[in-house]
Structure 1
Amino acid sequence: MLTLPQADQAAHFASGFAPASILTVDTEEGFDWDKPFTRDQHDLTHVDRIARFQSFCEGIGVSPVYLVDWPIVQSAKAREIIGDAVSRGAAEVGVQLHPWVNPPFEEEVNTHNSFAGNLPPELERAKFSRLRDAIEEAFGTPPISYRAGRYGLGPATKSLLHDMGIKVDTSVRAYFDYSHQDGPNYEDFPNHPYWVAGETPLLELPVTSVYRGLLASAGPQLFPKLARIPRAPGVASRTGLLERVRLTPEGTPLADAIKGIDAALAANLPVIVLSFHSPSLAPGNTPYTETEEEVDRLYAWLDGVYAHMARRGVTPSTIAQALAAANAG
């Protein structure tokens, strides 16, 4: 999973599918992002807000992908809201593994072990299996997609996903490096979809980030160097030389996101994968939505982004549709 793909592994999609977009939601417990990881210091007070979000998505013609972790699948309210949408074909459900809150609890809770791919393979598998089975039981459908919490893929994850029936992974956050926390380094990974080689190929749909600016073509080589120089990325962005744009309502202004979408389309990116965390649907859970006004701005961001993508001919899609189109491409 952590091997750079070769050019011949790029995914090609059936005629008429691209460009498409997928809205993924890291559907998880709320916890203090500034404090150490714990087994039990979290809450699910934002879950009621998922109903408003689902209604909003249906209003703009989008079927979100809820990447569900253990505390969420244990919530009767979450099962009710998400399950209703899934049963109506208005949403998809996938797997998201936060190992520190997912049984069995055998490892020490720390930053290193917060990346599931760092765990002993048998423990990563045991946690994943418990979660996958709980999701299928709760929502009546076997999940086919996965996002490792904290984007934490590991050397044993590929065989695990193969054995568990997962067809699509969306854990790679292209152009980002988590090695300073003992996590994976995706700085050199592409942002376009590709097939992970193996006995049964796995479709990788990276979370979309793009480089834009005069030096965008050199972004993968240049930006990591700039990031190690204080204030250099900000200077490069303000001068129009180079900017890394994350396609998320969490910390990316709408105007920048629109420019990022245009950059993705100019680069012929076939699938744009948007993402955010479900606790941001209620104030006070994440640094991005500390007030109701900021929650409203998250919705305004989504509204603006989807209006712009509609003007640019980008069609809302789902992971299942993307997989079918890739298999036919």
Structure 2
Amino acid sequence: MATGNLLEPPTASARARFADDTPRFLLTVDTEEDFDWNQPLSRDSHGIEHVPRLAKFQEFCENEGVVPIYLVDWPIANSDYAAQILTGPVAAGKAEIGVQLHPWVNPPFEEEVNQFNSFSGNLHRRLERGKFTQLRDMIEKRFGTAPLIYRAGRYGVGQNTAEILVNQGIAIDTSVRPLFDYSSAGGPDYRGHPLHPYWVNDEHTLLELPLTTSYWGMLRRQGNLIYPRLWRAPSMRGVLAKLGLLERVPLTPEGVSVEEAIRGIDIALDDGLPMLVFSFHSPSLRPGSTPYVRDDQDLDALYDWWRRIFAYLAQRGVKASSVKDVMASVQR
């Protein structure tokens, strides 16, 4: 059975279609441990102090009519508090649980902790499978549901990831981040991958829902040629954005303004994307845990960002979706 390769861009025939023409969006939450983003990765230097904040965010999403997808890693899967907060909403269909693999904090612990090994797809096939299996099984045990969606931590898929996911019953991957290149740190280069959903394997049992990022500006059609060349002069990226020439806009509240996100939404919809995938990191719900939310004012701004984006999506006729909805509406 051909399971496909997530590192390779798909053929045109692999493009996934949906049963109707209504555009959709997913809200994915990288639900992970707190750690210092400015320090080297460690198996031990992390916490889960932000977990109680998930309760407020879940209530917020329910009030907005949005089903968040919590992509849970090992420290969160082992948190009693996280299970208490999320099990009820998951059982009621008001939230969904997926898998997110951070290999440096996920047993079995056999590899050296370093940048290269932080991309789980770089690990030996047996070790990547072992880590994934332990996490998947723990999530099903703790949250009472078999997860169907996966995101590799640091977007780090590898040659064997698709096969592992298919064999473990995962139906959707959302690790691919088009327009981004992580190869300088040993990770994947996704600049050649499309933004639209596509089937990873010929059997249509593994669907890729890439995270949504768009180039905006007069030079956006040349974005893949120009933007990567500016890594030595990052200030030039800001200059081009201010001049309305070129800007890379991922759909996240972390480092992206509402106005920028709306431009990204408009470009994606104008390009005919049937699915928009939003993301952010759960530690941002606690001030001081990420670079994006430093105080209570920043946290209020994060909630306001989501509130305004949800309103704009409704205005544009974009439907709040979920794993359940995707599975029911995608054509095989």
Q: 2:76 aligns with which of 50, 72, 86?
A: 72
Matches of 1:49 and 1:297, distance apart in 2: 15
* Pair 1:268 & 2:269 matched: no
Matches of 1:170 and 1:153, distance apart in 2: 10
Conservation of the 8 A alpha-carbon contact between 1:174 and 1:190: yes
Q: SS in structure 2 opposite 1:231?
A: helix
Matches of 1:230 and 1:165, distance apart in 2: 41
User: What is residue 8 of structure 2 aligned with on the other side?
Assistant: 3
The AA in structure 2 aligned to 1:54 is Q
* Pair 1:233 & 2:237 matched: yes
The AA in structure 2 aligned to 1:231 is S
Matches of 1:234 and 1:279, distance apart in 2: 27
1:29-178 equivalence runs, <5 A:
29-178=33-182
**Deviation of the 1:9 alpha carbon:** 1.0
User: What is residue 254 of structure 1 aligned with on the other side?
Assistant: 258
Q: 2:20 aligns with which of 15, 24, 30?
A: 15
User: What is residue 287 of structure 2 aligned with on the other side?
Assistant: 283
**Deviation of the 1:200 alpha carbon:** 4.9
Structure 1's consecutive aligned runs of 4 or more residues displaced over 3 angstroms after TM superposition are 198-201, 226-230
Matches of 2:183 and 2:266, distance apart in 1: 30
Matches of 2:82 and 2:206, distance apart in 1: 28
Matches of 2:147 and 2:278, distance apart in 1: 19
Matches of 1:198 and 1:100, distance apart in 2: 32
Q: Deviations over 1:219-249 (max 9, x none)?
A: 2233222344443222221111111101100
Q: Deviations over 1:238-276 (max 9, x none)?
A: 111111101100000111111111111111111000000
How many residue pairs get aligned? The number is 327
User: What is residue 222 of structure 2 aligned with on the other side?
Assistant: 218
Matches of 1:20 and 1:200, distance apart in 2: 20
TM-score calculated relative to the size of structure 1: 0.97
Label 1:230 to 1:301 Cα distance change in 2 as closer, same or farther (>3 A): closer
| RMSD (Å) for aligned C-alpha atoms | 1.2
* Pair 1:190 & 2:194 matched: yes
The AA in structure 1 aligned to 2:89 is A
Matches of 2:13 and 2:246, distance apart in 1: 28
Q: SS in structure 1 opposite 2:18?
A: coil
Deviates more, 1:213-222 or 1:144-153: 213-222
**Deviation of the 1:199 alpha carbon:** 4.4
Deviates more, 1:123-132 or 1:235-244: 235-244
User: What is residue 184 of structure 2 aligned with on the other side?
Assistant: 180
Deviates more, 1:194-203 or 1:90-99: 194-203
Q: 1:307 aligns with which of 280, 295, 311?
A: 311
Q: SS in structure 2 opposite 1:150?
A: helix
Conservation of the 8 A alpha-carbon contact between 1:187 and 1:224: no
* Pair 1:207 & 2:211 matched: yes
TM-score calculated relative to the size of structure 2: 0.96
The AA in structure 2 aligned to 1:33 is W
User: What is residue 296 of structure 2 aligned with on the other side?
Assistant: 292
**Deviation of the 1:69 alpha carbon:** 0.4
The AA in structure 2 aligned to 1:11 is A
Matches of 2:185 and 2:234, distance apart in 1: 19
Q: SS in structure 2 opposite 1:177?
A: coil
Q: Which runs of 5+ in 1 are unaligned?
A: none
Q: Which runs of 5+ in 2 are unaligned?
A: 1-5
Label 1:80 to 1:221 Cα distance change in 2 as closer, same or farther (>3 A): same
Label 1:172 to 1:313 Cα distance change in 2 as closer, same or farther (>3 A): same
Q: 1:25 aligns with which of 20, 26, 29?
A: 29
Matches of 2:331 and 2:282, distance apart in 1: 30
Matches of 2:260 and 2:203, distance apart in 1: 40
**Deviation of the 1:47 alpha carbon:** 0.4
The AA in structure 2 aligned to 1:123 is L
**Deviation of the 1:322 alpha carbon:** 1.4
